[in-house]
Amino acid sequence: MATAQTLLIIGIFVLVGFDGCFSASPEEEQNPNFWYVKGKEALRASLSMTFNMHRAKNLILFLGDGMGISTVTAARILKGQMEGKTGEESALAMDSFPHLALSKTYNVDQQMPDSAATATAYLCGVKANYGTLGLSAAARRYNCSTAKGNEVKSILHKAKMAGKSVGIVSTTRVQHASPAASYSHTPERGWYSDKELTSEAIAGGCKDIAYQLVHNTDINVILGGGRQYMFPKETVDPEYPTVTGSREDKTDLVQEWLKNRENSKYVWNRKDFDDVNEGQTDYLMGLFEPSDTRYELERDPSMDPSLTEMVEKAIKILRKNSKGFYLFVEDKRIIRVVSIA
């Protein structure tokens, strides 16, 4: 079987002081013919493109949460400068994609959107209200009674119903807004565990996001952070002795997930993750931090796998399905602004 090739784009936001001067531009760029040739090459490439009429068997959706135009531009410039150039003339791999587009990101009830309603839009196909997950705009934030009957189904759920294997990989807690829109229907993105549920939500029968992760759509691979929301508050975290679970219903959701699934495994550290035999595993849950995972520069490689490694493991498990697979991959830990005095 061919090795899965995974491309992850990491945007880096850099604050650099300049004195107003840049190094001299490359000599060839001073010649008008240089730009004429590049323009002709771009036109030829566009005119030579043909439509791909084949039907895709597998689908991977990569989300760089925080990768707006300015962040991507900063990453492109940094890449070029690390290559000894001025930077702007550099190109990222995504710049070579045959089709690029922009989308209008707003919520039905707010101009400035959030990750919950936008995830509902690109995963479920409908714009929604701020702070809500997997619900149409008929639902109201914080209001449990408005959720019932207004659920919308995600592409992950539809792929599973079509017989495909499905997975979620994220550098956030897997109950966070972006991945949670794949499987949950909740009027409040912050209801990670039953600890956060309001009395109105409990009385109305609304379930927390971690509960829905286990009981809604049958997901084959779940990799990221978010251990604390899966265990009772009496359970001490295996890595951090001062951290405990957050659940008040005394339910071990990991065991709930494992008990009804054949060839299933749960891991929380690098060694157990590496020991997973993909050929003998149909279900894998890996939760490597109590909350979100660490930034790549801060990650302990002896304890936590990288995003690339999680994606590769997920693909090796999911691709065994002859009907294909769907995988959602999110890198949330992209931008970290550091003030320098």
Contacts of 21 (CB under 8 A, 6+ apart): none
The token pair at 197 is 């549920």
Q: Which residues pair with 247 in a beta bridge?
A: 232
What are the angstrom distances between the C-alpha of 13 and each of 74, 176, 310? Answer: 6, 23, 24
Q: Which of these, 28, 50, 15, 59, lies nearest to 328 by C-alpha position? A: 59
Q: Which residues pair with 305 in a beta bridge?
A: none
CA gap 139, 169 in Å, rounded: 27
CA gap 161, 156 in Å, rounded: 9
Provide the strand spans (E) within 83-233: 165-173, 221-225
Contacts of 156 (CB under 8 A, 6+ apart): 123, 166, 168, 182, 183, 217, 219, 326, 328
Q: Give yes or no: 103 in active site.
A: no
Selected catalytic residue, list 25, 115, 145, 199: 115
Q: Is 259 helix (H, G, I), strand (E, B) or coil?
A: helix
* Residues annotated as part of the active site: 115
